[in-house]
Amino acid sequence: MIKLIGILIVILGFSFKVETLFTILVAGIATGLVSGLNFNEILTILGESFVSNRGVTLFILTLPVIGILERYGLKQRAVTLIKSIKNLTTGSLCTIYVLLRQIAGAFSIRIGGHAQFVRPIVNPMAQAAAEATNGKIEESDEEII
């Protein structure tokens, strides 16, 4: 029963809004110590898990970067750029995006998926293109875009 102390630590850490990574590491270390592992074994397990899942870690690292860029106005700059191009439609913008992804994919360059690239950059640009050609758009149209 005491071996489940990590779950309690995670719940308390999230409840008190403690830094997520710190909470998870403390919970993992506490669970390992209670389970009878020494500190070196715990660090070995953490290191092996990090190396075997580093692709996931790289994905997770991109999300804060996108958040920082959004906070400092990347979305507004993209919208301003698209609104300045009067003849650009939502369809042509999405076509350009898909072509860029295809070309980048041919060179094994990953532009990013929905959470990394489409939602913070392409979606606001597509909405701005729709507003530039059609005026103010409704919320239902925003969902379709």
Residue range 117-145, pLDDT digits in tens: 677 778 888 888 888 877 888 888 888 87
Q: What is the pLDDT of residue 116?
A: 62
Instruction: With a cut of 80, say whether residue 72 has pLDDT above it.
Output: yes
Instruction: With a cut of 90, say whether residue 26 has pLDDT above it.
Output: yes
| Cα angle for residues 52, 55, 43 (degrees, 5° grid) | 40
57 vs 69, residue with greater confidence: 69
| Cα angle for residues 71, 66, 118 (degrees, 5° grid) | 115
* Cβ-contact 121, 74 below 8 angstroms: yes
Dihedrals phi, psi of 65, to nearest 5 degrees? -65, -45
* Cβ-contact 34, 3 below 8 angstroms: yes
Instruction: With a cut of 80, say whether residue 102 has pLDDT above it.
Output: yes
